[in-house]
Amino acid sequence: MTDDCRIKGFSVTGSHLHLKGLEARGVPQNNNLNAESWGIWGSGSDNVFEQIDTHHHMGTGLFISGGGGNLVLNSDAHDNYDPNSSDGPGENADGFGAHYTPAGRPANVFRGCRSWWNADDGYDLISTYAPVTIENSWSWRNGYLSGTTTPSGNGVGFKMGGFGGDYDAGAVKHTVRFSVAFLNKAAGFYSNHHPVANDYFNNTGYGNRPDFNMLGIDASGAAVGRGNLRNNLAYTGTLTSNLAGTSSAYNSWDLGLPLSDAQFQSVSTAGWDAPRQADGSLPALPHLRLAANSTLIDKGVDVGLPYTGRAPDLGAFERPGDTPPPGLRHEAEAALAVCQGTIDANWAGFSGSGFCNADNATGAYAQFTVNALAGGTAALGIRFANGGSTARTANLVVNGSTVATLSFESTGAWSTWITKPANVSLNAGTNTIRLDPTTTAGLPNLDHLDVNA
């Protein structure tokens, strides 16, 4: 199919379709009067593209244009290059793209996908008015001619929006999480002048230029930082740029943790294109996964995504098997907890059957009774939500003695839960841990207390 002599290998205009196991290869450009061709073009909605291998096209591997609610699952796009584009060779051949979807349509999702050695970008979300989520996906060596380090197009791993450098009031938030970008010619994760702050949660950047570039734009057209960054890991290369103005916390660069190859099981950049598993999921590799003794384990903050252990790990890969043993998680609604207020369940995202909504008063405390097998230092994780605009402070009282004053910052919404860490000394046997508010604003909503005694 052609469009002004631009060729579409597959044109998917229908909706509610499931295409699985297709290989699309070698769609050409007919001339040099236009931009790229497309391996697969999808303008329908609510479609599933599963286990697609789209490669060696003179243009983008898989291009969503205008549709919403599509899922691209466990698919690969690679080795695409547009030598005949009218705006220059290599300027338009992305791995995956999602563009031009009108406002109000449901999110398009890329999950479990890989994009590599595309002449332009790995994933490109420019000029779309509906949200896009990218998760559990990888992007590497984009911006080069296939199989070489000869520069070509832009070379961004994950290009998370933008409108050609202009401010657009219709911009929406996009999300990338649990994803990896390495050795791309330019940024691993890039805001690309996006007018609003995207969510960048639990991602790993390795050897990009830089790993995270949060260049956004405000209503006046000025360059500003744009992004909500949590639990990300940047190692080697230039780590970050344009962070001023972003919301950045609990990332490797915020915490000042020492980084070295020893933090990882492997830092190999080979083998990421290995065959997928039998169910189509990504290959199980040790690369850029945390070593068992890594100091990056449990150093993140709860952003409402699954994790094991006391807190999320940094980076794209959560180490398995760190779920707190029975008895170390203490729900606020449990029999051995005291809530001077009500046990509510009207805000989503809590664990157990409810949370403590303490009275807005000084002294309206919440208390947990915990048992320690031995005395010594214990790591606490206090899961809370604060939908107000200001922090709420509370004294941390252990066995009747105030040991610290904690500030529970705004989480932005009452349904957004995060975990506040603290270290305390416990006695062997029974202990009480109390949170006692210092102002009439009271406590934040409290979900549970994890104790790693």
Q: Which of 17-26, 30-39, 374-383 has the lowest mean pLDDT?
A: 374-383
Q: What is the pLDDT of residues 150-194, one digit of tens each?
A: 999 999 999 999 999 999 999 999 999 999 999 999 999 999 999
Residue 409: what are its φ and ψ, rounded to 5°? Answer: -70, 165
pLDDT exceeds cutoff 90 at 52: yes
Who's near 426: CB < 8 A, 6+ residues apart? Answer: 370, 372, 375, 376, 377, 378, 398, 451, 453
Closest by CA to 62, choosing from 19, 116, 10, 132, is 10
Asked if 144 contacts 119 with a C-beta cutoff of 8 angstroms, the reply is yes
- Burial of 377: CB neighbours in 10 Å, binned 0-12, 13-18, 19+: exposed
Asked if 351 contacts 357 with a C-beta cutoff of 8 angstroms, the reply is no
Helix (H, G, I), strand (E, B) or coil at 263: helix
Question: Is 299 designated active site?
Answer: no
Q: What is the pLDDT of residues 366-390, one digit of tens each?
A: 999 998 877 888 888 899 999 999 9
Residue 261: what are its φ and ψ, rounded to 5°? Answer: -60, -30
Q: What is the pLDDT of residues 105-122, one digit of tens each?
A: 999 999 999 999 999 999
Tokens describing residue 178: 């649990």
pLDDT band at 328 (very low <50, low <70, confident <90, very high): confident
Find the mean pLDDT for residues 71-91: 96
Tell me how far apart the terminal alpha carbons of the chain are, to the nearest angstrom: 64
Which residue is catalytic, options 8, 159, 185, 299? Answer: 159
Percent of the chain with pLDDT over 70: 97
Report which residue type is found at 211. D
> What b/e string do you get for 378-413 counting C-beta neighbours within 10 Å, with b at 16 or more?
bebbbbbbbeeeeebebbbbbeeeeeeebebeebee
Find the mean pLDDT for residues 62-85: 97
- Regarding pTM above 0.85, the answer is no
Domains of the chain with bracketed CATH: 2-263 (2.160.20.10), 329-452 (2.60.120.260)
Closest by CA to 444, choosing from 452, 453, 435, is 435
| pLDDT reported for residue 237 | 87
